[in-house]
Amino acid sequence: MATPAGNHPLPSYLDPNHLGPWGVYLQQVDRVTPYLGSLARWVETLKRPKRALIVDVPIEMDNGTIAHFEGYRVQHNLSRGPGKGGVRFHQDVTLSEVMALSAWMSIKNAAVNVPYGGAKGGIRVDPKKLTRSELERLTRRYTSEIGIIIGPSNDIPAPDVNTNAQIMAWMMDTYSMNVGATATGVVTGKPVDLGGSLGRVEATGRGVFTVGCEAARLTGMTIAGARVAVQGFGNVGGTAGKLFAEAGAKVVAVQDHTGSIHNAKGLDVPALLAHVQQTGGVGGFAGADVMGNDEFWGVACDIMIPAALESQITQDNAGRIQAKMVIEGANGPTTPEADDILNDKGVLVVPDVIANAGGVTVSYFEWVQDFSSFFWTEDEINARLVRIMKEAFAGVWQVAQENKVSLRTATFIVACKRMLHAREMRGLYP
């Protein structure tokens, strides 16, 4: 692989031909490089994480045995501010995945112009197999291990897959005990009683809905009566589905880890959300027909919202998608090959790095509120969120029209220029 003069060859796990989420991200950077002008001389900055920490997380299990788990915290780019990004607990977490997620956080934060860099963390563990006390010990030990690089002005974790406000409370408390002072701003997504922000739980889904409505308006699609299919029905997909339904759309299909359901006349979304709350998934919901998980991708719909995990829309199923618009609620749900297929079909893809940025935007609000110890109302927070999301999407849309590129490439153009301009202005030290 060719490398610019003065640079060492990329290690194998940074190679764009290396399979995995990081390889997907590197391909996305390569696609945007021709549009960066004179800033392209700095593009290698985006291809190498600033800092990657791998930690051993040993805990004593309830039965007295000692178990070891592998944890990560990656800071991709800090040129525009402290690192910001979630922590996920999942049995399939890898370094490649966490690196990619941290990079997408860099893009996302720059795209909506909040003063953060990108970071991400994770532990390779199935949290469903742990007791509550084991989960707490795991969280606290992991927080202590990554404590050398996190902090309110350094790197601010948040909830992600299989983590929640309780996990954030344990992280905040552990960090605070270690530094000898209550530091509410070290994490976001906390319980409101511990400095969390109103509106945070629904923020990502509300952002998905907001940019989806803007994209529909600009393309002439009417939301009322539009058929929506959602993959993943938690905080993101469930909230987005609820808001689209309240706007008059029909949620006709939903898929999660418990199965896929369908009702061409439209699902009763409040009843479905209650069912998910009670049972943990959409499987077994009485108001729908069961459909095969593979069938979900070919369901008749106008809007599809992948809001689960990465690499769900691939070259194997992209050709069957009937939607006119795909709004990415999850991080990295569409592979580059699938992106090309959807683009060739005329499907508008509203990419994750703008569509799901509502969560980090309200995390920014929470961080600001923690620093000032002055808190806003939920209406104020939602209004600020909608304004920022609309302004960011309008900017991305304009760049896409001017350069005749996809919304994903346009978002990368906006974000990468902001990051690299900051890098250029700061210079290199020493």
Look up 84 and say whether it is catalytic. no
Place of tokens 């993101």: 236
Query: Cα–Cα distance between 173 and 89 in angstroms, integer?
Result: 19
Which helix or strand (DSSP H or E) is residue 237 part of? helix 235-246
For 272, the token pair is: 């479905």
Largest CA distance in the chain: 64
In 116-195 the beta strands, taken as DSSP E runs, fall at: 117-124, 155-159
Nearest to 253 by CA among 270, 266, 238: 266
Query: Cα–Cα distance between 100 and 28 in angstroms, integer?
Result: 11
Count Cα atoms within 13 angstroms, Cβ side, for 70. 9
Query: Cα–Cα distance between 291 and 201 in angstroms, integer?
Result: 29
| Those residues with Cβ within 8 angstroms of residue 60's Cβ, 6 or more apart along the chain or in another chain | 66, 137
Which listed residue (47, 50, 108, 120) is catalytic? Answer: 120
Place of tokens 């409505």: 213
| Those residues with Cβ within 8 angstroms of residue 134's Cβ, 6 or more apart along the chain or in another chain | 59, 61, 62
For 69, the token pair is: 């788990």
Q: Cβ of 174: how many Cβ atoms within 10 Å?
A: 19
Dihedral pair phi/psi, residue 350, rounded to 5°: -90, 110
174-to-138, 139, 148, 301 alpha-carbon distances in Å: 11, 9, 13, 46
Q: Cβ of 28: how many Cβ atoms within 10 Å?
A: 25
Phi-psi region of 149 (alpha: psi -120 to 50; beta: other; left: phi over 0): alpha
Give the residue numbers marked as catalytic.
120
